Amino acid sequence: MMIALTRSPDDQVYLGEWNEVEYRRLQKSVAIAEQREAAEHIAESLRLEMDGALSGAELTVEPPADGAFSDGMDLGFRDERNSSDMEEGRTTCENGEKFLCDVLEGRIHGDDVVAAAGEVVGDLTDVLQRDASLLQAMTCLEQESEYAYRHSFSLTVHALGIGAEMGLDKEQLRQLGISAILQDLGMSMIDQKVVEKPGKLTPSEFVDIQKHPIYSLHAIKDMRGLPYVSRFVAYQMHERADSTGYPGHRPKNLIHTYAQIAAVADVYDAMINVRPWRPAYHPYQAMEMLIAESSLGKYDAGIVRSFLHAISLYPVGCCVTLDSGEIARVVHSNGKSIDRPVVAVLIRDYPYGPVGDRSQ
């Protein structure tokens, strides 16, 4: 379709062909700018509201005395899965990432977001209950989706694993899952050139990044049916137990338990993914760093320990070299034996022997 600007019936200026993709991009850009401006306008009142809520809110979540979700989980090792099991896991992951894409692209909005998020989390907990390690395995597969969708979904899977290991019940997991999957909507309102910058951020760019929790809070605060705790997760997920986080530099006792769970899941998943400014860490390295930082008080040690038990020191999907020199892939965690996961041997005659030994 031709676009023309008419001055008179006989005088038209040709402006080029109609480009639907470019039009949608501009439309989205305008919508994001409007949302960002609205969030900035009430940012201070939102901060005051959340800071005021801290004094009267119950920020510590205790597992129930009985009825823990993990009581009904199948934690047994499966030496093989049939095609329908794998397809169910793959479909659950694809639906979760599609949901996030639809929300960020504006195809799902308003109150429908919470209902759709609840369905995604319900599917995740169903799979988690029947096959505890399947979702972890699915998140390790190479995906073509954008990092923003993949990261928020994987973060949610990890958060649910932590919550189940901590003994939370199904309703507590539902609230945690919805909070986790919606916690980062505000990042889309940050200039993506800053978000994906390959080098070190300038002080002003880092200030911009630190605005995204308030943008996330603004995006979800009026959604009907949203668990109240979701507001704390969106606002506090980048706080740290040693008060070094943002936006409020709060100490551990003023950070909601679910926000602390989401923080551990967020940092781990970010570390094992390639980012523009660094390569991906091996899952083992990422877990080691989490353990080291929790020992220094940056993260809650109990939450990191629960995560470690949920996925082991060598998470499902990663490759390891055995003492025998064989190369194997981790296929299942091994309960409390965090350093001895269940593995499947891939290469039996590795020429270099055990890790680090290249003398043979």
Least confident of 32-36, 326-330, 344-348: 32-36
Confidence of residue 166 (pLDDT cuts 50, 70, 90): very high
pTM: 0.81
Instruction: Tell me the C-alpha distance between 222 and 218, whole Å.
Output: 8
Residue-wise pLDDT for 119-128, tens only, equals 999 999 988 8
Question: What percent of the chain clears pLDDT 90, i.e. is strictly above it?
Answer: 31
Prior bond to 9 cis, omega within 30?
no
- Does the pLDDT at position 338 exceed 90? no
Question: What percent of the chain clears pLDDT 70, i.e. is strictly above it?
Answer: 75
Confidence of residue 181 (pLDDT cuts 50, 70, 90): very high
- Torsions phi, psi for 255 (to 5 deg): -115, 125
Count of alpha carbons within 13 angstroms of residue 257, beta-carbon side: 20
With a CB cutoff of 8 Å and minimum separation 6, the contacts of 267 are: 290, 299
Helix (H, G, I), strand (E, B) or coil at 227: coil
Q: What is the DSSP letter of 278?
A: B
Residue range 43-311 in CATH 3.40.50.300: no
Structural domain spans, the chain: 1-41, 43-311, 312-360
- Does the pLDDT at position 113 exceed 60? yes
For residue 71, what pLDDT is reported?
75
Partners of 347 in beta bridges: 327
* Alpha-carbon torsion angle 5, 11, 13, 14, nearest 10: 100
